[in-house]
Amino acid sequence: FRYVELVGLNEETKEMIVNDLDSVKGWAIQQPFDENDSYFEASGSDEALLLNILYDFCKYTIKATNQDVFVDSQARERAPYEGDLLVNSNTSYSIHSNYSLARHSNEWLIDNPTWPNDYTLFSIEMSYWDFMYTGNSDSIEKYFNALEKKLTTKVVYEDEKTGLIYVD
């Protein structure tokens, strides 16, 4: 977390906290992660070493950032975006066998789309990947109409320099 604000404390509790900061405990939202779900090790060259570093980095990133939905960054907006979900989910599919966070994140974004117009198509692609990895069509069936609408809705673009509005 970045900061904590404690509101409405009585003087006794404030003094206790000031004198013993360890008395304040927090909790984390994080999905279970099994380190043994995947393993990768290349050998024989500098390129192989680089692949090992990249794999470890990707695996740690998914483990460290798998909260209630996949987000763009733990340090910036900490909000879900379809483009970031595309990367995080496909990485997640490759390193562990719990696919529920990817599905939940995609379904949340179908219901709560973000502003980049081109990102709307990523929900369709992520629904496809969810089906390919899980073999479960429940999400596609539930969100079929919303996904279809993402393909047929007119998209409005405003050119910031000219103020002109374009409709595709």
pLDDT of residue 76: 74
pLDDT, one tens digit per residue, over 38-47 is 999 999 999 9
User: Running DSSP on this structure, what letter comes out for residue 5?
Assistant: -
- Residue pair 57/87 in contact (Cβ under 8 Å)? The answer is no
Q: Where are the beta strands (DSSP E) in the chain?
A: 156-158, 165-167
pLDDT, one tens digit per residue, over 81-139 is 999 999 999 999 999 889 999 999 999 999 999 877 788 899 999 999 999 999 999 99
pTM of the model: 0.76
Distance, in Å, from the CA atom of 107 to the CA atom of 99, rounded to the nearest integer, reads 13
Cβ count within 10 A of residue 125? 15
Q: Which residue has the tokens 């990133």?
A: 61
pLDDT, one tens digit per residue, over 11-58 is 999 899 889 988 888 777 788 899 999 999 999 999 999 999 999 999
